[in-house]
Amino acid sequence: MEKKCMDRLIGRHCKIVTKEPGEDRAYVYTGMVKDIDQDAGFIIIESEQGPDYLNIKAIVAIKPKVKR
């Protein structure tokens, strides 16, 4: 994904679907995108469970959503 597209997600509440290579299941994370580190390949999100670090290559889908 292009850098400018990813930067628009910072500060927004998103639903992120990830699937690691070799895994059978996909995992869904919901939270606010705090930072994107393109060089290291990670997205940092703040969810109700605390901060999560997600590998950019494992992301299948990102959908911005309105927090209710």
Comparing CA positions, the residue from 45, 27, 28 lying closest to residue 36 is 45
Query: What structural domains and CATH numbers belong to the chain?
Result: 3-60 (2.30.30.520)
Comparing CA positions, the residue from 14, 58, 5 lying closest to residue 32 is 14
Q: What is the pLDDT of residue 38?
A: 86
pLDDT digits (tens, 9 = 90+) for 10-54: 999 999 999 998 999 999 999 999 999 988 989 999 999 999 999
Q: What is the pLDDT of residue 3?
A: 60
d(CA 14, CA 63): 6
Q: What is the pLDDT of residue 13?
A: 94
pTM (two decimals): 0.82
Sheet holding 27-37, edge to edge: 50-55, 42-47, 27-37, 13-18, 59-64
d(CA 49, CA 29): 10
